[in-house]
Amino acid sequence: MLHFLRSSVGKKFIMGLSGLGLSGFVFAHMTGNLLVFKGAEAYNMYGHFMTHNPAYPLISWSLVLMMLVHAFLGILLTKENHSARPSAYAVQASPAKSVTTASKTMIFSGSILLVFIITHLATFKYGNHYDVEYGGQTVRDLHRLMVEAFQNPAFVVWYVVALIVMGVHLRHGVSSIFQSLGFNHPRYTPTIKWIGIVYAIVVAAGFISQPIYVYLVHQG
């Protein structure tokens, strides 16, 4: 087992599992945030439910662990690519040169996403704390914080650019996840690639719609 985890195939498999978990969270987070279109109360109650759920600490630390493992293995496999044949993310039928290019792109986009995650947490999770009351229950007013943050056009632009980068990262990453987990067959590869493209577009568009909507609707 230890030998498998130390091997290139084992590292890709673990990276695929961590990528699968992170991709699932990203999709769930995107759909939940779409409640901003329903109104402040719906959005705030969703945020309150998520952060006060008994499973919240476990989910949070699991996400941190998956991100650290994913980033560490991405860097490690990329370094191995420079001295050996294995791809940085998944076994592919493309030439080694194109695989190396894809790998470098993933490292670049992943680095931008790391900065984006830090910015996102600093702005929203650890940002200004406002309270609002609904039916006698006091909850954090995340909607007000979001409106406040997205009044800055420069912040909106940065957010949109980062989310486009996330879409590019997901487009390659989601397809590679299945290959890393062993679904690498000529019959399935075209379908898997389309799944990656559709998934990336849906998630990126869903996230991008939120800052644009808030900026345009809540001016001043």
Q: What is the model's pLDDT at position 173?
A: 83
- The confidence score (pLDDT) of residue 94 equals 47
Half-sphere exposure of 184 (CA within 13 A, CB side): 16
Q: Give pLDDT, residue 190.
A: 80
Query: Who contacts 217 (Cβ-Cβ below 8 Å, separation ≥6)?
Result: none
pLDDT at res. 193:
85
- The answer to whether 218 touches 151, Cβ cutoff 8 Å, is yes
What pLDDT is recorded for position 96? 42
Whether the CB-CB separation of 143 and 36 falls below 8 Å is answered with: yes
**Per-residue pLDDT for the chain (220 aa), expressed as one digit of tens each?**
666 666 777 888 888 889 889 999 999 999 999 999 999 999 999 999 999 999 999 999 999 999 999 988 888 887 777 665 544 444 444 444 444 445 567 788 888 999 999 999 999 999 999 999 999 999 999 999 999 999 999 999 999 999 999 999 998 888 788 777 777 667 777 888 888 899 999 999 999 999 999 999 987 5
Distance CA(196)–CA(17), nearest Å, equals 15
CB neighbours of 9 closer than 8 A, spacing ≥ 6? 91
What separation in angstroms does the CA of 72 have from each of 17, 67, 135? Answer: 14, 8, 46
pLDDT (tens digit per residue) in 78-93: 777 766 554 444 444 4
Whole-model pTM?
0.83
pLDDT at 4: 65
Is the Cα torsion angle 30, 31, 33, 34 positive or negative in sign?
Answer: positive
- Res 40: pLDDT: 95
The full set of domains in the chain, from first to last, is 2-217 (1.20.1300)
Closest CA to 173 of 22, 9, 10, 7: 22
Q: What is the pLDDT of residues 36-55, one digit of tens each?
A: 999 999 999 999 999 999 99
